[in-house]
Each structure stands twice: as structure tokens, then as C-alpha cells.
Structure 1
Amino acid sequence: MSKTILVTGAAGFIGFHVSKALLEKGHKVIGLDNINAYYDVNLKFARLEQLGIDRTEAAQELHYTSSTTYGEQMVFVKMNVEDRQALPKLFEAYPIDIVCNLAAQAGVRYSLENPEAYADSNLTGFLNILECCRNYKVPKLVYASSSSVYGNSDAVPFEERDRVDHPISLYAATKKANELMAHTYSHLYGFETIGLRFFTVYGPWGRPDMAMFLFTDAIINNKPVKVFNNGDLSRDFTYIDDIVAGVLTTLLDPSENTSKYKLYNIGNSQPVQLLDYIEAIEKALDKSAIKEMMPMQPGDVKQTYANVSLLKKDFNYEPNTEVAEGIAAFVAWYRGFYGL
């Protein structure tokens, strides 16, 4: 049965892919994004164009734009999630069955430079989403949390039952706050909330501030690759298709877990050393990197490693993309997108 799903952050990396997958399954998508300038807006508009959303119309504030590809099955509006006047009007205009909240001010390092942006989008904006779900009787909210909530924990793999009381970046603190806020609203108002702790997502149409994009761009353009903590880092790199599969199943499929509040790791569960990751990119590009060894970045963590057994148990989640395969797909997209 077709659902009407609000996807916030629809011009973002994960939001774009989730929206596309929902449309291909026949669901109606109401896409929302503020298209901020945290990174190149042309990439955001290009993603929307893949969904049939006209760039000029998408740039207009609070203008509801229908897709030229999907018709009224896809509607986009440029809006801030923290807008307390505009967001309720969207819920009034469309009978929304499920909310998928992927809008957030992203980036660990940027939170050191512009903390106010994180308070606006990740805290005030998330509260606004919760209030609209409450007031307009939306039965399910799936929202993005982050592996960063685990901080510098030495206990690996990371499990949902681990204590996450020591975030080391404001971004991580806002994501932990989202989990607590969602718990409160599920308890008080009875609607289902599902938090997904994403682990280092990469793939085609990815963000320019993420490692995959930064490394590929630097190697191709003969620039130094900044290798933080002298390469002594590991990440649970997770390919976008595996992430989308997990998001869609939590949005659309029933679970035997009857709790109104759910929280899951969503990752590849196969951490990779940073230097090995760079080597795999070098192989895909057939070109060596110029490595510039750097100290640890403030707010960064040494390792991430997801235990995904809970998501597998409740929703049959099974990531299956090898890192080399995912890197090759990204490199092919990058070359095509930039005409190399």
C-alpha cells in the first residue's frame, strides 16, 4: 500500500537516495531541505534534478514544486525544519503517514566553527518535527542519529546498550539529545520513533566534506591527502545502498519489536583502517596519493565499529557491499559527474 512520507534533508546525500528509492517503490515523497551553503549547493540541486525537481523552482523559499519525472508523487519545498510557522502548514497541506527526518547540520569539525547552526537545525528543528508528529497524529518517525554518540569508547564493536554519556563534539551531543527527545515523545504521546545511528556513509552523490570525496578529489588533482592521527584511525565505512535498504525497512516494514521507542546501529560491521581505505581508492584511480600526515583533529574519534545484530534481528538488515566495490562505484560516479 502506497504511503505519503515526509523526507527532510531530501537534497542531502542520504535523503536524496532514500527519496529516490521510495519513489521507485511507488510511495509519495514530500521532500524538504533548506539547501544551505555548508557545501556546494550545485551538488544539492543536481541531486534534486535526478528526482525531476527544477533547480530554479527548488531555490524559491516555501514554494511547493512537483517533479517533472514523478508528477505529484514527488513534491519538494525549500524550508528550514526549525521554522515553527511553515512546518505545521506543510503537515496541514499533506496527510503524512510517516516522517523520515534526515535534515541536520552535519559535520563534526564544523561544529567547532558554527555551533549555533547545530542548535537551530538539530535541536530546535528536531523539536519542531516532534511537535508536528504529535499534533498531526503521525504514527511513525524514523530519524538520523550518528555513531559519533559513542565518543572515544574503547569497547568495540559499539552496541546500542553501551553508555553514551561522553560525546566529544557538539554534533554528537545534539544527536544524543535527539535520542532523548524522541524517547520522551514516544513515552508521552505514544507514536513510534526509530533512531538510526549511521556509521560513515559513502557512495555516489556523497558529501564533499566526507573522506571518500576528499581523498578522491585530492588524488585526482595531485593535492596532498590529509591523513589524521598519522593514519591510526579506523572507520566502519558503510555503502549508501546498504544504508538505504536499512532506512526503507524501518520506514515500511513491521517489526516483532513492539516498543514505541527503538534505537539501532546501521553500519557495515567491518571496520577498515584509514590507510587501507586510501590504498583502495588509489587502486580504483590507478594513481598514488600524496599523503600528508596530520595530528588528531579536535572532536574526532579514533575508531568506529557497529554491532548491527539488533537491526538484523528486528528488520533482517544485512549489509553486503564490500569496500572495494563501493569505492569503485563512487569513483565511477565522480568521474562522470565532473566530466573526467
Structure 2
Amino acid sequence: MSGTIVITGVSSFVGYHLAKFFSNQGAPVIGTISRSFDQYRDLKLQRLQNLKNLKLEIVDICDRKIVEQFIGVVRPAFWFHHAGFAEDYSSLNFDLDRAYEVNTRPLEWLYPALKSVNTHGVIVTGTGSEYSDSSLANVENEICLPATPYGLSKLLETQRASQLAHFHKLKTRVARIYIPYGSMENPKKLLSDVVQSLKGRKQIELSPCEQERDFLYIDDLMSGYHGLMRHIESSDQFFEIFNLSSGEATSLKKLLLTIAESLDVPASLLQFGAKTMRPGEAMRQYGDNQKAKRELKWQPRSLEEGVKLFLQE
């Protein structure tokens, strides 16, 4: 790879790992943050501190003038449009207006500015939530009827990126991701909470955890993003969507039991059924990854391999 890579939203879990991964590959990487360094706290601050060898720039992607000036100076070879609004993403009260202003509207000035400096390609972070609820594996070319406002907002972002990619003839790939796991994840997330409890040999109350989801180790997700970059360089297509997923529907219960076994702690610490499931929660959601495996030459690890590496971090 050649040229500067710009990754927006590097204080987030996936954004942090993107910046770290491509920097370790020897690429010149610039990570963008939305406010001054001293305004970050806790885990987001820790992530940024761990990127101390990386160049960080304050870039408000909602400010057209600032973005255009930044792109004109940096002249990125690749732009990762990862920063986005996802607060209360599972709620029906999710702020669609704010999501449009942060996730989609900036594309209007990003594309012409990037085209003017001959950027090779754009990679947009999407989500499996863009798909309809289904017990079958989500396939990239299926009709999408999102069940949540967040999924709807991300689908709009994907559709607008497609329109702009074709209009400006700027190659774009969308990474539809599901549930990545790994180091530096939010400790308030269930998986991190369970791992910490099990390491301390403490009981943790859980729902029956029978819902099936698509879990992917973070390093596999990173290699998938790398594959998207290579695809941009080797393919003539202006726009493509790829599911970066495990391709398997794994019950949350199985994942947690695998973690307990890997830590060599009693499975009885996991108090399944002590809580009820959230009303209306889909019982199954996972992505078909055959397109990514075929076209990106990408192969994610098994659940057991991923969990083992995660717990060694």
C-alpha cells in the first residue's frame, strides 16, 4: 500500500484497532478525533494514549470547510469513514436527525474533496443492523428493511455513499460488521463485563442468553478491512458491500461458556436465566461471509481460536 491513510473516529473500539493495525503495517496513518485530546476521558483517552506513535488531528467531519482544507493538505490515498453517531443505537428513540448530520451529510463534501486529490478509495463502516430481521444469513444483495432507527440511518449512509461513489467515480467499499470482540472494548459491554467477572471468579447474573449472533475476533475484522483496500486497488467496480462476519450464528450462551472453559473457571459462575431478555430482541442475526471469503481471499478464525487469542491479550 502507498500513500497516507486517514481513519476517522480513532477513539472508538474499531477505529482504534484500525489505526493500530495499519500503523503496524508500516503505512502512514493519520487518525482524526472530533475534539481536543484533553477532553477525552477513561477508555477513549486510554485508546488515544496507546496511539502515541500515530499522528492525530482534530477534524470535525461535520464542518465542510475544515474537512476540505484537511483533505487538500493531507491528500489521502485512502479514507476510512468510520466516525459516526451511535448513541442509544438499540433504542427506538435513537436520534435520526443527529445520525444524518454526523453519518451521512458529511459525505456530500467528502467525495468531491477526495476526488479532487485523486484519493484511491473510500471505506465506509456499515452494520449488520442495516438488514431486515431474519433467521437466515444476511446476504449483501438482499432487500434491506432495518428493524431499528439506527439501522435505517446506516442504510441511508450506505445508499448515499453508493450514489456519490458512482457520480464522482471514486471507488468505495462498505464493511458491514456485526459484533467484533477484542482488547480495549467498552468495559460496560456484556462480553467485557463477563470476562472481568469470570477472571475474578465472581458470579454474574444473565438472561438465558439463547439469542444467536455473529461474533468476530477484532484481528480478523482488521484483516477484512485490509482486504477491502486491496479490492479497491484490484477491482474496477466503483461500489461494493461486504459482510465482514464470522458467517455463523452462535448463541451468546455458547460464547460465554467457551470463555469460561478457556479461563478454566466453573461454568456455574454464569447464572443463566437470572434475568429476562429484552422485549422484542431478535433471536437470530448473522451474516453470510462467502462473498468476502471469495473476493477478498479472507478467512476468519473459529470462535474457539478467537476467544483464546482475546483472553491472552
Q: Which bin holds the TM-score, normalised by the shorter protein?
A: 0.7 to 0.9
Provide the C-alpha distance between the structure 2 equivalents of 1:255 and 1:2, rounded to a whole number of angstroms: 11
Matches within 5 A, 1:114-133: 114-133=95-114
Aligned length: 304
Provide the C-alpha distance between the structure 1 equivalents of 2:142 and 2:177, rounded to a whole number of angstroms: 16
Match of 2:159 among 180, 184, 200: 180
User: CA 1:117 to 1:329, structure 2 compared with 1: closer, same or farther past 3 Å?
Assistant: farther
CA contact (8 A) 2:72 2:113 kept: no
User: CA 1:248 to 1:118, structure 2 compared with 1: closer, same or farther past 3 Å?
Assistant: same
Matched position secondary structure for 1:294: coil
Q: TM-score, normalised by structure 2?
A: 0.86
**Is 1:265 the counterpart of 2:243 in the alignment?**
yes
1:255-274: CA deviation from partner (whole Å, max 9, x where unpaired): 65421111111111122111
Amino acid corresponding to residue 48 of structure 1 in structure 2: L
The Cα of 1:195 is off from its aligned counterpart by 0.5
User: CA 1:119 to 1:289, structure 2 compared with 1: closer, same or farther past 3 Å?
Assistant: same
Q: TM-score, normalised by structure 1?
A: 0.80
Provide the C-alpha distance between the structure 1 equivalents of 2:35 and 2:309, rounded to a whole number of angstroms: 25
**Is 1:250 the counterpart of 2:240 in the alignment?**
no
Unaligned runs of 5+ in 2: none
Give the fraction of aligned pairs with identical amino acids, expressed as a percent: 18
Provide the C-alpha distance between the structure 2 equivalents of 1:217 and 1:225, rounded to a whole number of angstroms: 13
- In the other structure, the counterpart of 2:132 is 151
Matches within 5 A, 1:43-62: 43-52=43-52
The Cα of 1:139 is off from its aligned counterpart by 3.1
CA contact (8 A) 2:75 2:114 kept: no
**Is 1:279 the counterpart of 2:257 in the alignment?**
yes
CA contact (8 A) 2:140 2:243 kept: yes
The Cα of 1:209 is off from its aligned counterpart by 4.8
Matches within 5 A, 1:77-156: 77-106=57-86, 108-109=89-90, 112=93, 114-154=95-135, 156=136
Match of 1:191 among 148, 170, 180: 170
Amino acid corresponding to residue 277 of structure 2 in structure 1: P
**Is 1:24 the counterpart of 2:24 in the alignment?**
yes
1:202-238: CA deviation from partner (whole Å, max 9, x where unpaired): 11112345432233345557474442xx433101100
Provide the C-alpha distance between the structure 2 equivalents of 1:318 and 1:12, rounded to a whole number of angstroms: 25
- In the other structure, the counterpart of 1:162 is 142
- In the other structure, the counterpart of 2:215 is 237
User: CA 1:301 to 1:124, structure 2 compared with 1: closer, same or farther past 3 Å?
Assistant: farther
Report the more deviating stretch, 217-226 or 91-100.
217-226
Amino acid corresponding to residue 242 of structure 2 in structure 1: Y
**Is 1:211 the counterpart of 2:210 in the alignment?**
no
Amino acid corresponding to residue 295 of structure 1 in structure 2: M
User: CA 1:255 to 1:4, structure 2 compared with 1: closer, same or farther past 3 Å?
Assistant: closer
1:314-333: CA deviation from partner (whole Å, max 9, x where unpaired): 2201112x323333443444
